[in-house]
Every structure is written in C-alpha cells, then in structure tokens.
A and B are shown apart, each in its own frame.
Chain A
Amino acid sequence: MSAIVPYISKPRPDTGLYNAKMGIWLFLASEVMLFGALFSSYILLRIGAVDWPHGSTLLSVPIGTFNTIVLITSSVTMVFAWASLKEENLARFKLFLGLTILLALTFLVVKGFEYNAKFSHHLFPRTSTYMAIYFTMTGLHAIHVIGGIIVNSYLWGPGAVMWKEDPARFTNRIEVAGLYWHFVDLVWIFLFPVMYLL
C-alpha cells in the first residue's frame, strides 16, 4: 500500500530528512503555536489583572519540582531507548521505553493528586483567572502526556514487531516518538516556572 512512497526510512539527500521526521517537526511547529498562544494569553490576562496570586502560595513547589525531575528523567530514558535500538539491543530498548512509560504515568498520578488537593480546597477553574489558566494549560499538557503514553505503549508492545521486519523504520519511529516526547517535556519546563514560581 503505502510502500510506493519513497524516503520512509532513508533520508532524502537534498533535505537530509526522512518523511516522518519532517512531519513531526512540522507538527511540533504547530504545537509551539498552540502553547505559544496560551502562554501569550497568560501574559495578557496577568498584565490586565487587578491582583494575581504568586504561584507558590497556591501550588506545592516541592511536588512540582519532583514532577519536573520525573519528566526530565523520562526524556533521558527515551533517548536511551532510541540509542539501544541503534546498538541493536531490543531487550535494553524495552527496558528504557518501559521506564519512560512508567515515569510518564508517575507524572500523571502526581498531577492527579495535585488536582485533587486543589479541588478539596475548593479551588476550581472557575475560582479565579489564575486557577483557570493553571487548569487549562496543565490539563492540555496532561492530554499530551497521555497521548505520548499511548504512542509509546503501542511501540513497546504490538508495534515492536516491526523491529523484525524493518529495523531501520522502527528505529525511526522511536526517534519520532522521542522528538514528540522531548517537546512535551519542554512545555512542562516552561509551565513549571510560570505556574509555580512566578
């Protein structure tokens, strides 16, 4: 079927990219615009606000720091997963991708407890503009984390059979999934100081 399209695993000489890699960079460009618009809205709303709470008075900085470390670690294990495939070591790949998924789940569980703590203190999106943008942006980020978990779990489980048929293409898939995952990590690295520390 789609095998009639070239440059699926080998890069095209004049662009230096294989198709999926160009596709994911373009997708990430659109994601930058999505989160960029939300960060811009944050700035506009904060400038226009009569008073704006300091993030640390409402959110727990230690928990946020812990979650930041969890996500950064998951980015590192994601790179190790890709590197393991480059070394043709499928077992090590499974270990590191599995770790990435577990770390992502850890992040979500911690985030869930954070959300729950806010709700139990009667802090809801409707409470203030700060809470509104906090829940909207971290919620949208969490949806991206969930998306990453789904993709990575597929590649860890049923998707991994491609390793036998077409190892080069499978390695590319991990690279592309990794690029997306680093982006999700990067968004959080912006979100954490903006929401918790400023």
Chain B
Amino acid sequence: MSHDNHPTHDSHELSFWRKYIFATDHKMIGLQYGITALFFLFFGFWLMMLMRWQLAYPGQAIPHVGDIWPVLGKAVDWIRLHIFHVSGSNFAEETLPGGVMLPEFYNQLGAMHGTIMVFMGIVPLAVGAFGNYIVPLQIGAADMAFPKLNMASYWCFFVGGWVMLISFMVPGGAANSGWTSYPPLADIASFGQTMWIIGMVFLITSSLLGAVNFITTIFQLRAPGLNFMRLPFFVWAQLVTAFLLLLAFPPLEAAGVMQLMDRVAHTSFFLPSGLVVSGKPLEVSGGGNSLLWQHLFWFLAHPEVYVLILPAMGIVAEVIANNSRKPLWGYRSMVYALLILGFLSFIVWAHHMYLTGMGTAISAFFQATTMIISIPSVIILTCLFISLWGGSIRFNTPMLFALAFLPMFGIGGLTGLPLGLNTPDIHLHDTYYVIGHFHYVVAPGTIFAMFAGIYYWFPKVTGRKMNEVLGQIHFWPSLVCMNFIFMPMMIQGLAGVSRRLYDGGAQYAHAQGTLHLNVVMSIAAWALAIAQIPFVINLIGSLFTGKKVENDNPWESTTLEWATPTPPGHGNFTTIPTVYRDPYEYSVPGASKDFTPQNEKTVV
C-alpha cells in the first residue's frame, strides 16, 4: 500500500478553504466539477421525469409530486417576495395547479432539460471532471499549467449553473424557448431568457478558461519522452475537445451578447421588420435577421456535439485497451480520424437548418460535409470494435459500460445519417426521431462512457474499488431502460410526431397509432431512475466499505496515471516519470506479465 508514500510536496497542510473550496489542485477541481455535474445531471433528469408524466398521461395530476408541490411553491413565493420583491405570486398555481402541468411550465422544463444536460451536466463531467483529474496524470504532469485559472473556471461554471437554477424562481419562470433559444420567440420571452443568457455567458467563460488551460497543459507539461504519438487516446480526445470549445464557443457568446442587446436595449439584431406579437405590431426598428442567431448558435452547437462525444470515446478507448489486454487496433488512424473530425465539425453546422430556406446549393454543401464527417467517426468506432478481436476480455463493470457504448453510439450515429440528408430530413425534421437519434448518442453513449470512467478510475481517486455486484445491477437495467426510452422515439418520429408537443401528440390524427408508446417510454424513464439507485449507493458506500486496492495499479494498466501514489498527493508523482514506450503495450511477446507500463524502460 502506498498511502504512507505521499510525495514530499504534501508536507504543508492547506486550510480547509484552500484545500476543498478555493482549491487550485487539478484533482480537487476535477472532483468539484464531477460532484456538481452529477448533481445537475440528476436534476435535469428529474425535470424530464416530470415531463414524461405529462406526455404519457396528458392533463392528469402527477401523483405524489402534486401533493408536495404546494410546499415547494410556498418556498418559491417567499423567495420572490423577499428577494425579487414580487408580491402576490403563486408558484404552484403557475406551474402545476392541482398537480396538472401547465403548457408554460412544460416549455420551461423542455428548454432547461436540454440546457442543463448539455452545458451543466455532460460537458462539465466529461471535460471538467475527467479531463481535469486524468489528463495531468496521464501526461506525467504535477498539475495543470494554470492552477488559478482552473479554479476560476470551476467557479464560473458554479455561478453560471446557479443562475440557471435560480431562473426557475424569477417571475415568468425559466427560459422557455427551447434549449436553442431561437428568436424571435426568445427575444420577446419572459425575464427567464435574460437569466439564461447571463448563465450561458458564465458557462462559456468557464469552458474558455478550461480550454486554454488544457491545451497549454498538454503541449507544455508532457513528461520527458512522451511525444504526441505516445499520448493516451483519452488525452488526444481532450486536446481536440479543448480546441473545439476554444474556437466554437465565442460565436455563441457573440450571439448571446446580441440577444441580450435585443432584450435589454431593444435592438433588432434578430427581429425582422413587420413582426406582429399577440395581434399588435412589435415596436422595434426591425431589419434584423432571425436566421443569424441560428447560424451562430449551430456554429457552436454542432462542434458541441463532438465535445459531448469525444471525451466519451477517449474513456472507452482506455477501458477497452485495458480490459481486452491488447494494444488499441489502429491507434494512429484513430488519432488522425479524431483530428479530421475536429476540423470537419466546424463546417457541418447548417445541417440543422435545412428547412429554413437557405437554398439548395448551401444545403448540398452541408449535406456533403455531413456525410464526410461520418467517416472518421466510423473509423474510430471500427477500431474500437476490432480492438476486441482476439483479446482476453475482462468483463468487469467499466468494461460492460464501455462495451455497451459501442452499439449504442453506433445506433445514435447511424440514425443521424438520414437526418444529414436533405430529402429525408424534410420528413424527420423536428420530430421525435431527432430526439431519439441524439439521445442515443448522448445518453447510452456518452453517459455510459462516463459511468465506465467513474468505475474505472474510482480506485485511483479513493484507493478502493467499487462493488462489482452493484455495478452489474446498475448496468443491465440501465441498458434495457435506455433502449425502451429512445427506440420508441424513433418509431414516433417516423410517424411524424413533433418533438415539441405538450400533450405527446394526443390531439393529432397521425400520432394516434403511436400514442401508447408514450406510456412505455415514460415507465422506462422512471425505471431508469430507479436503476441509478444502486449506482448512488455504490458510489457513496464504496468510499467507506469498498475493497481496498492492493497496489497503485489495480487494473494492471500501462498508462501513467497508475504510476502515481493512491490517491495521488499534491504534485501527483513522487518523481516525474520518463516515458519509454507507446501507451497500450499489453501482452508484449516475451514479457513476463501482460502489461508493460509506459514508464518502464525495459520489458521484463
């Protein structure tokens, strides 16, 4: 055991505030990010569970929630009265009167579910938490290049997240124009939309600071001998992700500034002339362009899709290499595919806008780039599949999640192709098919990879392994439920059911044949929530009762993060390691053991 083998840097004790709250150590910041992001993920999931009741049983009171809601409403009313000085509000009546959801509240939940999951859940977990904790360890660095910037990045995220949460309490409720905030609707929406923009500015600043930090760290702080083609795939994935965040987010920030001007200074960046709202002409100067927002938004939000998926691929690659006891098949092609993917992701954005009347020439261009970008994704996925071939696979919990990622992401990716083609998109655009497609990518795709990462690196963080039985109880129901939620969405979408319907399509003739699926999906969503209970028990319980690891490298891995003490102290390594070999030298012929760590000079 190496618990009493901490590096000498740790000798001076930090105060509680410096160690846990205003921490500058990348590992503590990573944990802060991880805990906060998991909280937001569960919160966003909870919003969705409320919505799923309304979709399955439109107009019926939500059981149990309807009973406790007035209590919550009273608390919000108190805050409104004493903080926002708005009297006479009745939160419960404005959202769930008698437990029945109002359309206005449904719209808020829809917009905020998307915003929370993408910007406050997945990205902070994939980049902020895993990136922060693992990248410096895998490149043999003592910390991130800019520890104070790292702290600022977390606290910007924290403030931005809370601005978003508090926006539920402002008069008129949270943002309700969809997570895409399309104008002109978003320009004239209630005050919650202004809060949304302010929150986004904080979240964007956080990502920007993080991106600068990650790129500098990876370029500047690699250990001796660790050249670029020896970097673990996870580090490559984080590097490309950081470039996407760095260059794609600022245009959204520009768009956010313009929308803020539209809302606060009454400019008309996104408001065309002659707009009529509720029967009255809107008194603005006009002359704006609402498509401008869509271009700027998707210029961010398409690369954002790759921000969501690339770190996940990185984690899966690590877990698969480790548990198949084989080097990754086609490491170099994977890296080149990653770079091409990163570049191409900047020139596909308008495939979200085929039906806006851009013109056929532009649509054809974006259709072509969209088809081309599927090639590098398929290369990476294929390499991961072939990596399994002939391996001696260990079916532990991280590996199960990583293995499930492959077909789930495969379904998500392949169902995207019809959307990327102009003609089928006419039918599929804005239907539940779209929702099914991208949730397959992000939910059983990215989130499963996040789970794999948590189970895989937990022993490094805590010195204990998570429970395998609870892990299996977590994995199998989650896999089943995910498919029962998102596969029926594809069917509904093919039937033409719109994604924005408050009643789940009950009023529409063409939706009648698929209405029963709403109940299936909702029950699966609630069952998925129950399936997360073993995970929570496992995560917290294993901190205290998990099986202690016997050495610093319990999974017998080759990458540098396992060459640190467990858990790593301040400064990470007792001595900065030197790298002699490629990242995944498993089962080297002639070696006495089936793994040869990167910092081992000669094969023994």
Contact = CB atoms under 8 A, between A and B. Distances in A.
Contacts of B147: 1-2, 5
A134 B587 CA distance: 64
Contacts of B570: 4
Contact of A129 (B146, B250, B285): B285
Interface of B is mostly: helix
B246 A37 contact: no
B247 A17 contact: no
Interface in B294-319: 295-296, 299
Interface of A: 1-2, 4-7, 12, 15, 17, 19-20, 22-23, 26-27, 29-31, 33-38, 41, 44-45, 48-50, 124-129, 132-133, 135-136, 140
Contacts of B142: 4-5
Interface string B239-273: 00000001111110111011001000111110000
Nearest to A44: B292
Interface in B135-169: 141-149
Contact of B257 (A4, A49, A136): A136
A33 B250 contact: yes
A45 B250 contact: no
Nearest to A11: B220
A128 B9 contact: no
Q: Looking at chain B, what size class is its interface with the partner chain? A: 35 or more
A125 B257 CA distance: 13
Contact of A15 (B144, B146, B220, B288): B220
Given A1-B147, A126-B265, A136-B257, A7 B221 contact: yes
Nearest to B265: A125
A44 B299 CA distance: 15
Contacts of B269: 41, 45, 129, 132-133, 136
Best-buried of B148, B220, B246 by chain A (most CB within 10 Å): B220
Given A33-B248, A135-B261, 15 more contacts: A2-B143, A4-B9, A5-B143, A15-B219, A17-B220, A22-B219, A23-B212, A26-B211, A30-B208, A50-B287, A126-B268, A129-B287, A129-B288, A136-B258, A136-B261
A7 B143 CA distance: 12
B271 to A, nearest CB: 10
B289 interface: yes
Contacts of B258: 38, 41, 136
A135 B267 CA distance: 10
Nearest to A52: B287
A1 B24 contact: yes
19 contacts: A1-B24, A4-B143, A5-B145, A5-B147, A6-B220, A22-B219, A22-B220, A26-B216, A30-B246, A30-B249, A31-B250, A37-B250, A41-B258, A44-B289, A45-B269, A126-B267, A127-B285, A132-B285, A136-B267
Interface of A is mostly: helix
A125 B288 CA distance: 13
A13 to B, nearest CB: 11
A23 B141 CA distance: 17
B571 interface: yes
A33 B250 CA distance: 6
Nearest to A31: B250
A99 B559 CA distance: 52
Contacts of A37: 250-251, 253-255, 296, 299
Contact of A34 (B144, B149, B251): B251
Best-buried of B143, B144, B248, B251 by chain A (most CB within 10 Å): B251
B253 A34 contact: yes
A144 B158 CA distance: 24
A5 B141 contact: yes
A133 B268 CA distance: 10
B284 interface: yes
B467 interface: no
Contacts of B54: none
A6 B213 contact: no
B583 to A, nearest CB: 19
B215 interface: yes
B287 A49 contact: yes
A137 to B, nearest CB: 9
A4 B571 contact: yes
A125 B269 CA distance: 10
A48 to B, nearest CB: 5
Contacts of B257: 38, 136, 140
B43 to A, nearest CB: 29
A30 B247 contact: yes
B296 A5 contact: no
Given A22-B219, A31-B250, A50-B287, A41 B267 contact: no
Best-buried of B146, B250, B253 by chain A (most CB within 10 Å): B250
Contacts of A48: 287, 289
